[in-house]
């Protein structure tokens, strides 16, 4: 088994760019499968879950390869989210296990719901969803207990490695150990060999900007690339710990909110009340949470993502049934006579029944 895994890892390293392109292409195909044949949504979600899980494994493997090669230098600075989550993953094994388990559940929860819908009764299906949400809440509280900081989504590092930027020495290595460096010095690139010709100033360089207009193009280009306090701050300090009781309550309410919503939905009664309660808890968490400093970009990005996720309430409960769905169906109907646009309208039309049937298509 270990030899088979080693062969697969070697194959991945030598074909990393091709595999990355294949993953992206197959992930795009999953958007067009629903409605094409019987159980097409199950096939689409199974393919999507498989791609997400294999991508998670590939990301872990590529990160190990890059860390084992001291010569590899990223083309762009590592994103702050990746720095923060990778620091916690490297520091605490329990954090790494809980974060990966949480991501695996997120990748497979809709597929599990589809299987339960076909095998279980309606009541047992909701019991299964309740069990999944309970496990997710426990894992999130474990992460919160370890970090004592607001949770980020996703809690694991995202892929920040361009497969095309990996050095040929890494590609040729059959193991995860770095390749032995070559004793000969690297040759000079062709575009740098003839560098003794003086550069004569051109007319563009000598032309002054028009009167009353300042030339700020250089400043506009350099400002986004300037170092900030977050760029030099230790990775674990990119998000400040929760200090006050109000901060802890806000984060706890945000974590418990989906479990409370599913618990109320599983009874089969007062679905509107469940939606109102979940939305009220969302607003409560939003109003209680602290206001991050302008330099706390990681925390500000996380709160901005949470605010954007509130738009999912338009696809839930009575809001979806009485407001959003009629408008989408009307748009799809009007677009059915327009060339090209009708193709996208047909795709949206195939997805509408899935939003009606499955909880995890619009899960909080």
Give the burial class of 229: count Cβ atoms within 10 A of its Cβ; 0-12 exposed, 13-18 middle, 19 or more buried: exposed
* 88 token code pair: 């916690």
Residue 169 pLDDT more than 60? Answer: no
- pLDDT digit string, tens, across residues 82-111: 899 999 999 999 999 999 999 999 999 999
pTM: 0.77
Output the pLDDT for position 171.
Answer: 46
Q: Which two tokens stand for residue 242?
A: 């929760």
Chain centroid, CA 353 distance in Å: 26
Residue 175 has pLDDT above 70, yes or no: no
Neighbouring C-beta atoms of residue 329, cutoff 10 Å? 13
Q: Among 53-62, 70-79, 214-223, 239-248, whose mean pLDDT is lowest?
A: 214-223
* Residues 121-160: tens digit of each pLDDT: 989 999 999 999 999 999 999 999 999 999 999 999 887 6
The model's pLDDT over 181-208, given as tens digits with 9 standing for 90+, comes to 444 555 665 655 655 666 566 665 556 5
Which tens digits make up the pLDDT trace of 208-265? 556 655 555 665 665 556 566 666 678 888 999 999 999 999 999 999 999 999 999 9
Q: What is the pLDDT of residues 330-342, one digit of tens each?
A: 888 888 777 777 7
Residue ranges covered by each domain of the chain? 1-73, 74-164+237-362
Return left, alpha or beta for 125; rule: phi > 0 is left, psi -120 to 50 is alpha, else beta: alpha
């Amino acid at each position: 088994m270990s030899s088979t895994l080693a062969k697969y890892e070697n194959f991945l390293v030598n074909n990393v760019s091709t595999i990355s392109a294949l993953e992206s292409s197959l992930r795009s195909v999953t958007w067009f499968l629903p409605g094409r044949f019987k159980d097409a949504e199950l096939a689409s979600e199974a393919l999507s879950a498989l791609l997400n899980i294999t991508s998670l494994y590939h990301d872990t493997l590529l990160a190990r390869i890059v860390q084992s090669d001291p010569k590899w230098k990223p083309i762009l600075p590592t994103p702050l989210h990746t720095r923060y989550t990778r620091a916690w993953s490297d520091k605490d094994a329990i954090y790494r296990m809980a974060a990966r388990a949480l991501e695996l559940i997120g990748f497979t929860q809709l597929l599990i719901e589809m299987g339960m819908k076909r095998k279980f009764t309606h009541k047992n299906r909701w019991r299964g969803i309740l069990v999944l949400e309970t496990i997710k809440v426990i894992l999130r509280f474990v992460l919160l207990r370890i970090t004592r900081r607001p949770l980020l989504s996703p809690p694991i590092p995202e892929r920040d490695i361009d497969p095309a930027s990996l050095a040929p020495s890494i590609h040729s290595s059959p193991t995860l150990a770095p390749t032995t460096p070559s004793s000969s010095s690297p040759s000079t690139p062709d575009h740098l060999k003839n560098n003794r010709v003086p550069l004569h100033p051109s007319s563009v360089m000598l032309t002054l900007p028009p009167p009353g207009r300042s030339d700020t193009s250089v400043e506009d280009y350099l400002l986004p690339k300037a170092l900030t306090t977050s760029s030099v701050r230790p990775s674990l300090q990119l998000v400040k710990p929760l200090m006050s009781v109000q901060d802890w309550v806000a984060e706890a309410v945000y974590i418990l909110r989906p479990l409370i919503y599913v618990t109320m939905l599983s009874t089969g009664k007062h679905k509107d009340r469940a939606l109102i309660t979940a939305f009220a808890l969302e607003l409560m968490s939003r109003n209680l949470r602290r206001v991050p400093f302008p330099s706390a970009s990681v925390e500000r990005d996380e709160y901005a993502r949470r605010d954007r996720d509130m738009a999912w309430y338009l696809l839930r409960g009575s809001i979806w049934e009485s407001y959003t769905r009629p408008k989408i169906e009307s748009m799809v109907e009007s677009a059915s006579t327009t060339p090209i646009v009708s193709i996208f309208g047909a795709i949206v039309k195939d997805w509408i029944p899935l939003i009606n049937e499955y909880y995890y298509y619009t899960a909080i």
